[in-house]
Amino acid sequence: MVEQIHGMDRTGVRFPVGPQMQSKKFQRRIENFTCEKCGAEVKGNGYTDHCPVCLWGRHVDVNPGDRAAECGGMMEPVHVDKKGDKYVIEYICKKCGYEFQVKSAGEDNFEVLLKVNWKFSH
For 101-117, how does the pLDDT look when each residue is reduced to its tens digit (9 = 90+)?
Answer: 999 999 999 999 999 98
3-class secondary-structure state, position 19: helix
Q: Which residues contact 62 (CB under 8 A, 6 or more apart)?
A: 20, 21, 68, 69
Q: What is the pLDDT of residue 14?
A: 53
Query: Which DSSP category does 34 fall into?
Result: E
Q: What is the pLDDT of residue 20?
A: 46
Strand partners, 86: 83
Q: Residue length, the chain?
A: 122
Q: What is the pLDDT of residue 24?
A: 60
Strand partners, 79: 90
Q: Which residues contact 36 (CB under 8 A, 6 or more apart)?
A: 56, 58, 74
85: left (phi over 0), alpha (psi -120 to 50) or beta: alpha
* CB 18 within 8 Å of CB 6: no
pLDDT tens readout for residues 27-83: 888 889 999 999 999 999 888 889 999 999 999 988 888 888 899 999 999 999 999
Instruction: Give this prediction's pTM.
Output: 0.74
